[in-house]
Amino acid sequence: MNIMSLTAVELGKKIKAGEITALEAADAAIHQIEKLEDTYHCYVTVDKEGARKRAAEVQKQIDDGTLNSPLAGVPVAIKDNMCTKGMLTTCSSKILGNFYPTYTSEAVLNLEKAGAVIIGKANMDEFAMGSTTETSAYGVTRNPWNKDHVPGGSSGGSCAAVAAWECSYALGSDTGGSIRQPSSFCGVVGIKPTYGTVSRYGLIAYGSSLDQIGPVAKDVTDCATILETIASYDEKDSTSVKRDSYDFTSALVDDVKGMKIGIPSSYFGEGLDPEVKDAVLAAAKTLEEKGAIVEEFELGLVDYAIPAYYVIASAEASSNLARFDGVKYGYRTQDYNGLHNMYKKSRSEGFGAEVKRRIMLGSFVLSSGYYDAYYLKALRTKALIKKEFDKAFEKYDVILGPAAPTTAPELGKSLTDPIKMYLGDIYTISVNLAGLPGISVPCGVDSKGLPIGLQLIGDCFRENKIIRAAYAYEQTQKRRDCPTVQATE
Amino acid sequence: MKQYETVIGLEVHVELATKTKIFCSCSTAFGSAPNTHTCPVCTGMPGSLPVLNKQVVEYAMAVGLATNCEITRYGKFDRKNYFYPDNPQNYQISQLYLPICRNGHVDIETEQGKKEIRIHEIHMEEDAGKLVHDEWSDCSLVDFNRSGVPLIEIVSEPDMRSAKEVIAYLEKLRLTIQYLGASDCKLNEGSMRADVNLSVREVGAKEFGTRTEMKNLNSFKAIARAIENETERQIDLIEDGEKVIQETRRWDDNKGYSYAMRSKEDAQDYRYFPEPDLVPIVIDDEWLNRVKDAQPEFRDEKKVRYMEEYKLPEYDADIITLHKKMADIFEKTTELCKNPKKVSNYLMGETMRLLKDKGQEPEDLKFSPENLAKLINLVEQGVINGNTAKDVFAKIFEENVDPEEYVKEHGLKMDNNSDEIRKIVEEVLANNPQSVQDYRNGKEKAIGFLVGQTMKAAKGKANPGIVNQLLKEMLKNE
């Protein structure tokens, strides 16, 4: 048996039971990376030595009883936009090609306290801007289900690494669907928690008011366990929320009797791939058969989510990315003439096309004379979208829909038409605008053999409802590992 | 020639006296080695996040209340975006849309009587780092120690008409803020900075003229000079039929003139938007009342109270309340020795003299009220005489010595033993026959010299009352 075929929780149990050591687990991940990384390119950085050393330390703490978390000794991949002290952190951008942070992000610290062994830093769209992981300055990541297809994005490296067994689980970040969409494309499970649940301290910001870190793993049990480990109230993040409960695993109950599930009819209109539609509706039917009450309803303002999102996220990004100027850290151009020329050349050479596009878009919507018409209007739209969801959650426990309108597109097909790529975020984006939790769970494959994702959306701080629904649904399905990865065994 | 009037509004930056920075827990201490008071937040490291220091809000509220402002109960921070290397994030966290205080005013004294200067708003923001230009290696270095030090900016309405009014307004702000303990407000060290917005117009005109903004004003003197210079410059332009250009100018106090830094056409678009990393500042009644209740007694009230409660002359009350530190020392010392006039005399006399000699400010005073009170008690109880007290006070001023111990250690207790003093007087009289003769011949002033000689012989410790009495007695007898 390949150790990497185990879920994170299964592996953690075996390590605790002494059946597998943390070092063996790390070696198994490294072995898998050596075998498949050339094909899929899930990582920007792989730290074999560091991982082995860390695994040995963790094993000692497990042995002397100081560590007994369910994730102790389990290898993890961290999306490359989370700061890791002394370990290269690039955001998949040339501009941070030489950046070694002086501190570790809070979510990763929480994992480390629980005995996680970091294998490396996962590839992503540059600064999390993109839906395919093709905007990375360090090469594209390929979808393990079919290497001619994208893994989705921006957490494409994290999701592909989980699918390819190149780690037991991963952390991703989700600003407009960046965990849920690639999870859907790679046939894995991913959660975007309620805004404020996981500290953003140390997460290199894209859209500060929308960014959230979340888990990516093989199943719902893993995701709930990981979320329980990384979620915390953090005084260093002013937007962090002190929640009543950080218990997510108690929601792993196979029972949806009486649960009210709403399906927004507008989610199933034009633009949705019929195969995705059928799979998602079949999943709804399954939940209904298990006792849930499923009905369609009208969710308003769906069409306004994408423009509002791109205005807000780009505006915040244009300011967040201003600090990358070649002065303090990161890339500085070779030849320059004076300060302004250094700024211009460093940034022109250091950022990729999609990042530049969003910085320009964001600068435009914030500029004097346009602020009210764009940014302020987008903020109002955001508030109205939240109200629409509030209304829906008065009636429903969970909202069900697809995670993405299609399965994973072929490499090279998306970036040629950015508007079309932006439209692919239609089902995920409003969840970020409203600050809600969402989960993507595999619900079958299309005729090309590519995975389809079911999205369940909950009200703020009601992760447990979507975890419960997802878990109950998962129990009806046979776990579907990536066949090409299995074939290499 | 036409008659012109000057119209002036001020933007005053005040560095707040918090121990830590506005958005991180680094120290605000001044004068440390470069980049020793820094962390990921105040150096703009990727992924770092600001956390608001509540003390900053309280100081800003306190200044707002003291200047009759409305306090914004639901406030926010905004980002001001501009590129400059002293600004590590390339945006400054400031307040544009919902500043903490609005619509206030302070009264100043002018030759025409009381005048109200309106305050448009007070907002909170972070200071930038400091650039150090190294000419030897032809490069610039950045020191981020000051990055993130809290500031408030107090923006007045264009209500001032002369340099005198500007100075009076600044003095009023400074005193108010010092009384609050919110800042030491030192212009020369940059903890208080004023930018002057100035325009001129014909007397009686309704519209304002085009204004300029003057920066780099490091003293009241520089401010006054710059205002006069800029007023003249603008009037000259208008008289010559030219136009005043809306621009920012930099004052060079050594050369006594200003030059244009940037015009309105070059004005940057700061692309302000609400800071998404900070939550709104909600000030509830409880918080507001707590800050209100903690407001100190300000100068005007204090002055009146000193005259009523302590019966101080207005002149004394005026000078002592001019500095918060003086007033604090006065009150504590008086409480301990119950002798307000004596305390006032020490502060107005010896203290002021020593400060002047040493070129220090009242803020630099280091002695404790306890020691001054003890000294006053020693004199009152006849333990030491006035001469000794003066010397001891100099020691207290310098090193804050305990006067009781000091007097004991140095044997400075006044000599009240008539027999011993009598011996000394006899000796002095024997040694100064000429003075004795003079006195007896009716030159009464000669006794002063004899007193001095006796005190000198007694090493200053003799009770001057006894010396006088004995001298008179013995001069009569012989």
Q: Percent of chain A, pLDDT > 70?
A: 100
Are residues A346 and A332 in contact, defined by beta-carbon separation less than 8 angstroms?
yes
Token pair for A334: 């070779």
Question: End-to-end distance of chain A based on CA atoms, in angstroms?
Answer: 9
* Residue A239 near chain B (CB below 8 Å): yes
Q: Are residues B134 and B215 in the same domain?
A: yes
User: Phi and psi of B477, rounded to 5°?
Assistant: -60, -40
Q: Is residue A196 included in any domain, yes or no? A: yes
Token pair for A427: 């089902």
Catalytic residue status for A478? no
* Residue B46 near chain A (CB below 8 Å): yes
Q: Is A357 helix (H, G, I), strand (E, B) or coil?
A: helix
Q: How far is CA A114 from the centre of its chain?
A: 20
Token pair for B50: 């600001």
Q: Strands A398-402, A260-264: parallel, antiparallel or unpaired by DSSP? A: parallel
Interface touch A316/B276, C-beta < 8 Å: yes
Q: Is residue A444 included in any domain, yes or no? A: no
Q: Is B325 helix (H, G, I), strand (E, B) or coil?
A: helix
Q: Is residue A381 included in any domain, yes or no? A: no
Q: Of B134 and A230, which is predicted with more confidence?
A: A230
Q: Is residue A290 included in any domain, yes or no? A: no
Q: Which of A5, A14, A79, A465 is catalytic?
A: A79
Interface touch B47/A96, C-beta < 8 Å: no
Are residues A259 and A397 in contact, defined by beta-carbon separation less than 8 angstroms?
yes
Interface touch B85/A327, C-beta < 8 Å: yes
Q: Is residue A408 included in any domain, yes or no? A: no
Q: Which CATH number characterizes residue B423's domain?
A: 1.10.10.410
The nearest CA of chain A is from the CA of B5 a distance in Å of 33
The pLDDT value given to residue A318: 98
Q: Which CATH number characterizes residue A75's domain?
A: 3.90.1300.10
Catalytic residue status for A48? no
Q: Are residues B264 and B339 in the same domain?
A: no
Q: Is residue B213 included in any domain, yes or no? A: yes
Q: Are residues B323 and B211 in the same domain?
A: no
- Is the pLDDT at A320 greater than 80, yes or no? yes
Distances in whole angstroms, Cα of residue A33 to Cα of each of A29, A48, A125, A170, B406: 6, 10, 20, 14, 80
Closest CA to A59 of A24, A10, A29, A86: A24
Q: Is residue B348 included in any domain, yes or no? A: yes
For residue A354, the surrounding DSSP H or E stretch is helix A353-366
Q: Is residue B446 included in any domain, yes or no? A: yes
CA angle B51, B282, A175 (to 5 degrees): 55
* Residue A364 near chain B (CB below 8 Å): no
Q: Is residue B254 included in any domain, yes or no? A: yes
Q: Name the domain boundary from B238, B260, B286.
A: B286
What are the pLDDT digits (tens) for A148-182? 999 999 999 999 999 999 999 999 999 999 999 99
DSSP code string of B218-280: -SHHHHHHHHHHHHHHHHHHHHTT-----EEEEEETTTTEEEEEEEGGG------EE-TTS--
Q: Are residues B194 and B342 in the same domain?
A: no
Interface touch B142/A327, C-beta < 8 Å: yes
Q: Strands A212-217, B192-202: parallel, antiparallel or unpaired by DSSP? A: unpaired
Q: Are residues B301 and B282 in the same domain?
A: no
Q: Name the domain boundary from B261, B286, B311.
A: B286
What are the pLDDT digits (tens) for A63-101? 999 999 999 999 999 999 999 999 999 999 999 999 999
* Residue B279 near chain A (CB below 8 Å): yes
The pLDDT value given to residue B31: 86
Size of interface A-B (CB pairs under 8 A): 96
Q: Are residues B96 and B159 in the same domain?
A: yes
- Residues 6 or more apart whose CB falls under 8 angstroms from that of A264 comprise A296, A297, A298, A299, A302, A392, A399, A401
Q: Is residue B98 included in any domain, yes or no? A: yes
- The range of the structural domain enclosing residue A155 comes to 3-251
Cis upstream peptide for A154 (omega within 30°): yes
Q: Are residues B280 and B302 in the same domain?
A: no
Residue A356 to residue A359: CA distance in whole angstroms: 5
Mean of the per-residue pLDDT values of chain A: 97
Q: Is residue A467 included in any domain, yes or no? A: no
The pLDDT value given to residue B265: 64
Average pLDDT over residues A299-319: 96
Q: Name the domain boundary from B387, B409, B431.
A: B409
CA angle B134, B136, B139 (to 5 degrees): 45
Number of domains in chain A: 1
Q: Are residues B256 and B345 in the same domain?
A: no
Q: Are residues B309 and B429 in the same domain?
A: no
Q: Note the helical H segments in B272-350.
A: 285-293, 299-309, 314-320, 324-337, 340-346
Chain A hits for B139, CB-CB cut-off 8 Å, are none
In this complex, the residue of A102, A235, A322 whose CB is nearest that of residue B40 is A102
Q: Are residues B89 and B238 in the same domain?
A: yes
- Residues 6 or more apart whose CB falls under 8 angstroms from that of B259 comprise B249, B250, B252
The pLDDT value given to residue B266: 67
Are residues A326 and A338 in contact, defined by beta-carbon separation less than 8 angstroms?
no
Q: Is residue B18 included in any domain, yes or no? A: yes
Q: Which residues of chain B have pLDDT under 50?
A: none
What are the pLDDT digits (tens) for A394-438? 999 999 999 999 999 999 998 888 888 888 899 999 999 999 999
The pLDDT value given to residue A418: 80
Are residues B128 and B22 in contact, defined by beta-carbon separation less than 8 angstroms?
no
Number of domains in chain B: 3
Interface touch B43/A328, C-beta < 8 Å: yes
Nearest CA in chain A to B138: A338
pTM: 0.89
Confidence check on the interface: ipTM exceeds 0.90, yes or no = yes
Q: Is residue B292 included in any domain, yes or no? A: no
The pLDDT value given to residue B268: 82
What are the pLDDT digits (tens) for A367-404? 999 999 999 999 999 999 999 999 999 999 999 999 99
- The range of the structural domain enclosing residue B59 comes to 4-286
Q: Are residues B358 and B240 in the same domain?
A: no
Catalytic residue status for A79? yes
